[in-house]
A = this chain, B = another copy of it.
Amino acid sequence: MSTAQHSAQELKTLFEEYLFEKAFEGFPDILLEPAMQIMKTKAKRIRPVLLLTACEAFGGSAREALSAASAIEIYHNFTLVHDDIIDEADLRRNVETVHHKFGINKAILTGDAMLIQAYDLLSHSKHHTDILPVFKKTAMEVIEGEQQDVDFEDREEISLKEYMEMIRLKTSVLLAAALQIGAVIGGASEANQKKIYQLGMNLGLAFQIKDDYLDSFGDQKTFGKKIGGDILQNKKTYLLCKAMEKSGEKEKEEIKTTFRETNPDVKINRMIDLYHQLSIPEDTENQMEAHYNQAMKYLQEVSLDPKQMIRLRQLAEDIYQRSF
């Protein structure tokens, strides 16, 4: 294997150069500013870095995977633009959302144009005939997961099984597809593609459950967001679904009373107490670690050079530990 190997940081730099210099060629001028409003927001670029790392791990050149990596990142940001309209969110990562700055009409059309751009980048990618079906399935699943999430808001109780299916669709399949698409471009066998897809799926589930966990039990400094945001919004999370599942009538009433509490600090503290009483932190840690371990098990099953195995494991670990 003579291809150059890059660190995750190097891949991120390489990727962002391509993203801003090449990936928006042919994009309508009239919608470029709103698109850049979200694309230029500081971001980890987890999906493209996974894609490019997988490509290199199987002996491919990261440069040949840059258009596919851009497609995945632009697709991801398209979903955020439309999601922020749906959630009526004014800020994302402390930056004004597209619809808040440019209006809902422009945000809808900017998202639409970004989806078209993503498809176009993919259809020009190496191995596009193998990649397009993976992307189509994934893109549809993400939209479906978003619709489930919207529907959940109007329902009082969501089973843990329903919640897990929603986050599988809304979050995990795109990480899985990023790894698979990188593997395809790198020349991986079908068997290896399947394993690495499952790696991504389980990493995505572990990542999302940990996100829910950190929102209530994280260290405010390292988490970067205010603790208890999900609790204040009565948001359906792994913690809440698990708590409802474990509760008898009495505890369910206590949870529902807490939903109506208007003092933010009282509300957060009361819900965190309830979670502790029901051992939710321990259950959640177990669940996220189980998925993380499952991801590592799939990684072990991929036929890869040991050096590449270590590299992929390190990246997964860094993403999971929020140290990337």
**Could you list which residues of chain A lie within 8 angstroms of chain B, going by C-beta atoms?**
26-28, 30-31, 82, 85-86, 104-106, 108-109, 111-113, 115-117, 119-120, 123, 132, 136-137, 139-140, 143-144, 146-148, 150-151
Interface of A, secondary structure class, is: helix
- Residues of chain B within 8 A (CB-CB) of A85 are 104, 108
Q: With A115-B115, A119-B119, A123-B123 known to touch, is A109 a contact of B139 (CB < 8 Å)?
A: no
Set of chain B residues within 8 Å of A140, measured between Cβ atoms: 26-28, 113, 116-117
A169 to chain B, nearest CB (A): 9
Residues in B with CB closer than 8 Å to A112 are 82, 111-112, 115, 143
Please name the 8 residue pairs, one residue from A and one from B, whose CB atoms are nearest each other, closest first: A28-B144, A86-B105, A120-B136, A113-B143, A119-B119, A116-B139, A105-B150, A30-B147
Report B-chain residues with C-beta under 8 Å of the C-beta of A143. Answer: 28, 31, 109, 112-113, 116
- Taking a contact as CB atoms under 8 Å apart, the answer to whether B144 and A30 are in contact is yes
B116 touches A123 (CB 8 A): no
Which residues in B have their C-beta under 8 angstroms from that of A147? 28, 30-31, 105-106, 109
Complex formed: what's the CA distance from A150 to B86 in Å? 20
A225 to chain B, nearest CB (A): 24
Query: Which of A108, A109, A123, A139 has the most chain B CB within a 10 Å cutoff?
Result: A108
Q: Given A82-B109, A108-B108, A150-B106, check contact A116 B116 (CB 8 Å).
A: no
Complex contact B146–A109 (CB within 8 A): yes
30 pairs of residues in contact across A and B, judged by CB atoms under 8 Å: A26-B136, A26-B137, A28-B140, A28-B147, A30-B148, A30-B151, A31-B144, A31-B147, A82-B109, A82-B112, A85-B108, A86-B105, A105-B147, A105-B150, A106-B147, A108-B108, A109-B146, A109-B147, A109-B150, A111-B112, A112-B112, A113-B144, A115-B116, A116-B136, A116-B139, A116-B140, A117-B140, A119-B119, A123-B123, A123-B132
